[in-house]
Structure 1
């Protein structure tokens, strides 16, 4: 374990030596041969409707579906924030849904997880109308969205974390996960930081780690790992302590025999995935991972 930590620390210092400046934003427009359907309702809680934007390739035949979950510290952002991911994925042959979810100013955890699971169930139950293969559904999330995707990957069979967002007869299990700079072990993270709980976590969980460590454990993907969990790709920006947040989870995945991969976007700060020059090679990396893990 100490050797792993030392290796990651050395890698972080090497990447920090070559800071890369952003060069622009990737396109959010639907590429040629792709249809965009906006504001589809995927879940409802009384009068509150949650919506997604669905990008689908026009060619015939079932294709994998991907639920894309934006970041923003659980307190800001919307379904437009990661739209470039969906546009790019659809151009590569995937059906990709950019979702909104309830932020901490509206509802505390596990509401956002309920919403993400409802989006997966919608993709599985309704997505076939748009050419989605219900047996091949993946999820991508960055930062706060990465945290939620980690939980999608590990808590599919836990009833108390399922929620009531609709399509209850469909499974919320995913077949592949991509986590970009997302927290997967909040307990270890808080112990390592040894400081006050950040304001965004206080708002999201409704209490500090000191007052309610159980909810931080419940909200950690690593808590729920089992042998049925899907292959996972972890990606970090090079100036964001690359790999450190995943050490415990990757060790446990290896023990369970679950395929997992890790890669770094060199020279970028947290959130670099939404900018060039990182976006294009990152999407190539994700596409390669999906092609290996979402084969028919």
Structure 2
């Protein structure tokens, strides 16, 4: 029996180490990207796996060198899976200080009004295992808002359970401008609706069949549709925020920084690209997505071939004007959109006199929030809630 448990422990230790090593290892190829993205976000499960392997081996130790190797492997796995945990307190403290510094006294007053917020803590281990409670909502899917070139574009609406008029969040999905859907990251949309927002999750036409600015035109079409149907869908058009992820973050910033059918009170970009020409010339290393090919498909060529396209599609080129407050959330280990780019955008926004915040998550990769209850998204959600409450809900705005 001990021999069987020993074999099990060795097997578990090997699996645990293989999975845990992606907490610190970037993906060299696209098919490995889910491991690099997901490992830090399931570190609590990896810690449990590695600890289980260690305990199984320890209690069935018979002096075999293979067992000692397994114990050593388990220890390494435990250390790797602990890395995100040990960084959470410092990361949260830095995020909180950044929010208070950039948004000032009005934000500090708002965060004391806890009725605006669903979560009173930035990270909860029980939620990491059990999942974040979402709550009851009303859901209206699959509404066509436009059909350019015969392409049916649809949106999903998430509303609080009670009829009323609510501040609105327009959510724009990622996918390299080539994929994704209005159903992406649905847990976030449901969560925010349960906490007093009307959320519109929209989609757009995809590259390479449709080049920029088709995608931005589609976002504006959605905003026009929402404006026309504001009363029907219970949205206060004077309290609107745009939120996008990755490619959707780029579109959210472009729409928020230019004239559009609705007044935008806040812009939130999760790991969105902001300087596309520079991103093309300085791709990440490693580059599992092949960033240059994605940009060429979206914009129709290289920066030398279509320089105007890259200029028009880069949010950093629109910062020298009064803009709504911007919240940027980015993983420091992002190997799709490098952390240097949101740092540059932050500096440009602030130099132009605009309110802007960059929250960095030290252990996180691109698309970290696809695991809704992971440590990265718990931190991001905590501060996103408060930023939205400050921008859209609090008295005096």
Same fold (TM over 0.5): yes
Deviation per CA, 1:149-177, whole angstroms, max 9, x where unpaired?
111121226xxxxxxxxxxxxx1442111
User: Separation in 2 of the partners of 1:94 and 1:213?
Assistant: 39
- Residues 105 and 188 (structure 1), Cα distance of their counterparts in 2 relative to 1, 3 Å cut: closer
1:269 maps to: 365
The alpha carbon displacement at 1:192 in A equals 3.4
Say which SS state the counterpart of residue 378 (structure 2) adopts: helix
Higher strand share: 1
Q: Name the CA distance, whole Å, in 1 between partners of 2:208 and 2:280.
A: 22
CA distance in 1, matches of 2:228, 2:130: 31
Please give the alpha-carbon distance, in whole angstroms, between the structure 1 residues aligned to 2:333 and 2:130.
21
Of 236-245 and 194-203, the range deviating more from structure 2? 194-203
Question: Counterparts in 2 of 1:158-237, with a 5 A limit?
Answer: 171-193=261-283, 198-237=292-331
Alignment partner, residue 194 of structure 2: 91
Number of residue pairs aligned between Structure 1 and Structure 2:
267
Residues of 2 paired with 1:237 and 1:40: CA distance? 33
Equivalents in 1 of 2:185, 2:242: separation in Å? 12
* Structure of higher RCO (CA pairs closer than 8 Å, 6+ residues apart): 1
SS in 2 for 1:129: coil
- Unmatched runs of 5 consecutive residues or more in structure 1: 1-14, 158-170
1:170-197 deviations in Å (ceiling 9; x for gaps): x144211111111111123234349997
Q: Give the 3 Å change call, closer, same or farther, for CA 203–243 of structure 1 in structure 2.
A: closer
Q: Which residue of 2 aligns with 1:137?
A: 240
Q: 2:322, 2:353 within 8 Å by CA — same for their partners in 1?
A: no
In structure 2, do the counterparts of structure 1 residues 44 and 132 end up closer, same or farther at CA, with 3 Å as the change threshold? same
- Where does residue 5 of structure 1 map in the other structure? none
Deviation at 1:27, TM superposition (A): 7.4
Unaligned runs of 5+ in 2: 1-22, 26-38, 46-127
Q: Is contact 2:343–2:358 with CA below 8 Å preserved after alignment? A: no
- Alignment partners' CA distance in 1, 2:130 and 2:205: 26
Q: Is the 8 A contact 2:204 2:215 kept in 1?
A: yes
Root-mean-square deviation (Å): 2.8
Q: 1:205 to 1:27 in 2, by over 3 A?
A: farther
Name the one with the larger helix percent: 2
2:147 to 44, 47, 68: 44
Match of 1:20 in 2: 40
TM-fit CA distance, 1:287:
0.9
Give the TM-score normalised by the residue count of structure 2.
Answer: 0.61
SS in 2 for 1:234: strand
Highest Rg: 1 or 2? 2
Q: 2:391 — aligned with what? A: 293
SS at structure 2 position matched to 1:247: helix
